């Protein structure tokens, strides 16, 4: 069954927490020009998103989609992981690779 997406908002942000079960915290940064002074203003907002497969981790850039309320604070769901955190990938590869054996003396 295909899901009709309609006019649901999509946001792109960075995962700042993945500690809760099936929930990620995404920080979305919005830049806009101040209407009176003309200065570029950066506005940060943190939202909770549902991550069923636990695919996103801290530092990943993700795209989230607005959905019905899933809990008191959660009304977004993870659409896709846009870019993985390069630091976490290298750390995972370092822990997965076995350390070279020390020569016997």
The pLDDT tens digits of the residues spanning 59-97 come to: 999 999 999 999 999 999 999 999 998 887 666 666 666
Question: What's the pLDDT score for residue 10?
Answer: 96
Q: What is the pLDDT of residues 9-41, one digit of tens each?
A: 999 999 999 999 999 999 999 999 999 999 999
Question: Two tokens at 15?
Answer: 């995962």
The tokens of 90 are what?
Answer: 């290298």
CA distances from 48 to 45, 97, 102 (A): 10, 34, 46
Q: Give the pLDDT confidence score for residue 77 in this predicted structure.
A: 97
Three-state secondary structure call for residue 17: strand
- Residues 23 and 34: their CA atoms lie apart, in Å, by 33
CATH H-level, domain 17-89: superfamily: Nucleic acid-binding proteins (2.40.50.140)
User: Pairing state of beta strands 40-50 and 74-83?
Assistant: parallel
User: pLDDT value at position 86?
Assistant: 83
Q: Record the pTM.
A: 0.77
């Amino acid at each position: 069954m295909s899901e009709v997406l309609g006019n649901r908002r999509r946001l792109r942000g960075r995962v700042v927490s993945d500690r809760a079960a099936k929930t990620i915290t995404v920080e979305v940064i919005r830049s806009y020009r101040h209407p009176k002074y003309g200065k570029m203003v950066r506005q940060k907002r943190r939202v909770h998103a549902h991550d069923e497969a636990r695919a996103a981790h801290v530092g990943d850039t993700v795209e989230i989609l607005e959905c019905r309320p899933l809990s008191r604070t959660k009304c977004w769901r993870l659409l896709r992981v846009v870019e993985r955190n390069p630091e976490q990938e290298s750390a995972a590869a370092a822990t997965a690779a076995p350390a070279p054996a020390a020569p016997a003396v």
